[in-house]
Structures are given as structure tokens and as C-alpha cells.
Amino acid sequence: YSMIFSGITSVMGALIMAFCAGDWEKYMESDFPFVDWFVDILDSSAGGSALVIVVIVLLNFLIAVGINTAGSRLAWSMAHDHALPFSNTFQKVNQTVQTPLNALFLLIVTELVIGLVLFGSDYAFQIVVSLGGVAIQFGYLIPILMLT
């Protein structure tokens, strides 16, 4: 039921925005239409910018929490199945917080190392990110080929 409720509220929100948003032509010509929209809603550039910052920071925080939670659980599962080097270290669950902290630290260090590539060049970072997508496709392709 949550998907149905989310779909209904998304459509309602889109309709409200469509009829109340304001000057669509200005938004379509803008480089950042959502910033202009927030500025027009609040009738203040400082208020609109502050709202944009709050929304972006909140979304980034929620996305980072989800990514780190899912990634640490995945790393823990792989370590539990001995699919990672040093599996005995990464499969341990901290008894105080009941969380695989070693797997979480592995994920954070991996994210930081990949982030450091960005300091080298944008092109190198794009290659690293693209290789992840290619690896996922091959990861799906291998079991499909094995089943056929």
C-alpha cells in the first residue's frame, strides 16, 4: 500500500505545482529552475536560497544514510559468505550497537578512496563511476547466461 499512497501523493503534488508554480517560461529558461521556483514562492532570494540549501542537505543526508546502511549490510553479507578478503574481520558485528561496524568502515574508506580520484581529474572519476555500472551489468549477465 505504501507504493500506491506514494504514487497518489506524487501525482497530487505534481498537479498542485503545475497550477501554482508561477512563470513556467522563466523556469524553463533558467539553469536551475528549482532555485527560481523557491525564490518566487518565498518572494525572497535569501529565503529561496536557504530553502534550497536545506532541501539539498536533507536529501544528501538521507541518501548517504541509505547508501551506507545498504552498503555495510552488503559488505557484511559478503564477508559472512567469505567472499571478501579478511572476511573474519569484516563479518564481526559490534555487540554494543548491533551493527557491522568493520564493514561500515570498509565502505567509508572505499568511498573516500573513490572520492580522492576526483581530485586527480573529472575524467578519471567518470571512468571509475562508469566502471561500476559496467560491472553491475556483467554481474547480472553472468547468472543469466548460466541459467540459459
pLDDT at 17: 77
pLDDT at 11: 94
The pTM of the whole model exceeds 0.85? no
Provide the Cα torsion 78, 83, 88, 89; round to 10°: -60
Can you give the residue ranges of every domain in the chain?
A: 24-120
pLDDT tens track for 34-78: 888 888 888 888 988 898 999 989 988 988 888 888 888 889 998
